Amino acid sequence: MPELPEVEVVRRGLERWTTGRTIACAEVLHPRSVRRHEAGPADFAARLKGRTMLTPRRRGKYMWIPLDGESGGPPPRNGSGGPGEAMLAHLGMSGQLLVGEPDREREKHLRVRIVFDDGGHDLRFVDQRTFGHLMVTDLVPDAFSAEALVPEPIVHIAADPLEDAFDAETFFRALRRRRTGIKRALLDQSLISGVGNIYADEALWRARLHWARPTDTMTRAEATRVLEAARDVMGAALAVGGTSFDSLYVNVNGESGYFERSLDAYGRRDEPCRRCGTPIRRDEFMNRSSYSCPVCQPRPRRARHQGSGT
Ligand SMILES: [Zn+2]
């Protein structure tokens, strides 16, 4: 499943390949891939036709491409005079955005195809499991940053730690108010976005914090440590083109992402901790797993036991 660094790799690929290009037409081959576009596939295609793609943006695992020019569809619900529209994309479990020669063979799981008026490379949304989606939506002022605009459906999603809009002090204060465990807080999109299960485990291992540590006992120094660890581990993944834990994931040019650096905690059950040699433990966590070092990340005396028998 693509996480923040993979989505950022895709965003950068799109920035290079689609910015400034005008859409000739969009073809929806599977309605499920535009299910969140409430006015339906025909309206989705009409809104894209004739629009120019501007610089892609990202928040967490969401990516959007602001659209310039007049919409080919009926006026948006909030009327005219708004800040504009964007095509919002979420890759879900297996979504890929591929750029390539327009006359190449169609992929088996091709869901949406966007053709440009310059006759150059097309943009394809390929998604085997169809958990991903595309939609055209209004842009609204961002709640987390004064200047920015964000797509209306994700206005409730907090900034991610790699964005300029992310405010560490706001995050810390919100953390202290919650009665939850630190890992659950890291996965809560209303507090911080873009940190998935893998990066949460890696950040907590680096910060030497147990996943069930109650957030209302966190010090500012500990919160800073976990934030810096999250930035470091996502930055490292980004530097090598994103992690690829899922063979279905490929980047914007169709090449598999490749993660050369091995992980320190995630997926390393019973393997020695790279700091102290103690076997890494695996706990049940919200129907998934948490990997941690029993020595470097001791269980807090007062743990928050959500979703777990530990
Ligand atoms: Zn250790």
The whole-number pLDDT of residue 217 equals 94
What is the spatial distance between Cα 201 and Cα 209, in angstroms, rounded to a whole number? 10
Per the model's pLDDT, the better-predicted residue between 243 and 113 turns out to be: 113
Q: Are 86 and 219 in a shared domain? A: no
Which residue matches tokens 């569809």?
73
The whole-number pLDDT of residue 238 equals 79
Q: Are 119 and 47 in a shared domain? A: yes
Give the CATH number of the domain where residue 100 resides: 3.20.190.10
Tell me the CA–centroid distance for residue 266 and ligand 1, in Å: 13
72: its two tokens: 């080919």
The whole-number pLDDT of residue 77 equals 54
Q: Which residues contact 21 (CB under 8 A, 6 or more apart)?
A: 52, 53, 116, 117, 118, 120
Active site residue 288: yes
Q: Are 110 and 54 in a shared domain? A: yes
The whole-number pLDDT of residue 257 equals 42
Active site residue 61: yes
In a domain, 298, yes or no: no
Per the model's pLDDT, the better-predicted residue between 28 and 78 turns out to be: 28
Tell me the CA–centroid distance for residue 280 and ligand 1, in Å: 8
Q: Are 145 and 192 in a shared domain? A: no
In a domain, 309, yes or no: no
The residue-averaged pLDDT of 44-50 equals 97
Q: Are 259 and 219 in a shared domain? A: yes
The whole-number pLDDT of residue 154 equals 94
Tell me the CA–centroid distance for residue 211 and ligand 1, in Å: 14
Tell me the CA–centroid distance for residue 227 and ligand 1, in Å: 20
Q: Compute the chain's Rg from CA coordinates.
A: 21
Query: What are 284-294's pLDDT values in tens digits?
Result: 998 899 999 99
Q: Are 13 and 106 in a shared domain? A: yes
Q: Are 132 and 190 in a shared domain? A: no
The residue-averaged pLDDT of 160-178 equals 92
The whole-number pLDDT of residue 244 equals 45
Query: What are 130-150's pLDDT values in tens digits?
Result: 999 999 999 999 887 777 899
Residue 69: pLDDT band (50, 70, 90) is: confident
Cβ(220)–Cβ(307) under 8 Å? no
Residue 279: pLDDT band (50, 70, 90) is: very high
Under DSSP, is residue 292 helix (H, G, I), strand (E, B) or coil?
strand
pLDDT > 70? residue 241: no
Active site residue 2: yes
In a domain, 69, yes or no: yes
The whole-number pLDDT of residue 310 equals 40
In a domain, 303, yes or no: no
Cβ(265)–Cβ(205) under 8 Å? yes
Mean pLDDT of the chain: 87
The residue-averaged pLDDT of 189-212 equals 94
The residue-averaged pLDDT of 188-201 equals 91
Q: Are 208 and 66 in a shared domain? A: no
The whole-number pLDDT of residue 305 equals 61
In a domain, 307, yes or no: no
What is the number of domains present in the chain? 2
Residue 164: pLDDT band (50, 70, 90) is: confident
Identified catalytic residue from 16, 77, 106, 288: 288
Per the model's pLDDT, the better-predicted residue between 248 and 3 turns out to be: 3
Which residue matches tokens 């120094």?
221
Identified catalytic residue from 3, 152, 163, 222: 3
The whole-number pLDDT of residue 6 equals 82
The whole-number pLDDT of residue 46 equals 96
The whole-number pLDDT of residue 81 equals 53
Find the angle CA(215)-CA(217)-CA(223) to the nearest 5 degrees. 60
In a domain, 159, yes or no: no
Residue that finishes a domain, picked among 94, 121, 154: 154
Q: Are 130 and 203 in a shared domain? A: no
Q: Are 17 and 141 in a shared domain? A: yes
pLDDT > 50? residue 208: yes
Share of the chain above pLDDT 90, in %: 66
Residue that finishes a domain, picked among 99, 125, 154: 154
Q: Are 115 and 210 in a shared domain? A: no
pLDDT > 70? residue 246: no
Tell me the CA–centroid distance for residue 306 and ligand 1, in Å: 23
The whole-number pLDDT of residue 87 equals 98
In a domain, 235, yes or no: yes
In a domain, 199, yes or no: yes
Tell me the CA–centroid distance for residue 297 and ligand 1, in Å: 7
The whole-number pLDDT of residue 160 equals 93
The whole-number pLDDT of residue 307 equals 44
Q: Are 43 and 141 in a shared domain? A: yes
Q: In what order do the strands lie in the sheet with 122-127?
A: 23-28, 110-116, 122-127, 95-100
The whole-number pLDDT of residue 270 equals 97
Domain of residue 196: give its range.
168-292
The whole-number pLDDT of residue 256 equals 39
Share of the chain above pLDDT 70, in %: 87
Identified catalytic residue from 47, 57, 61, 213: 61
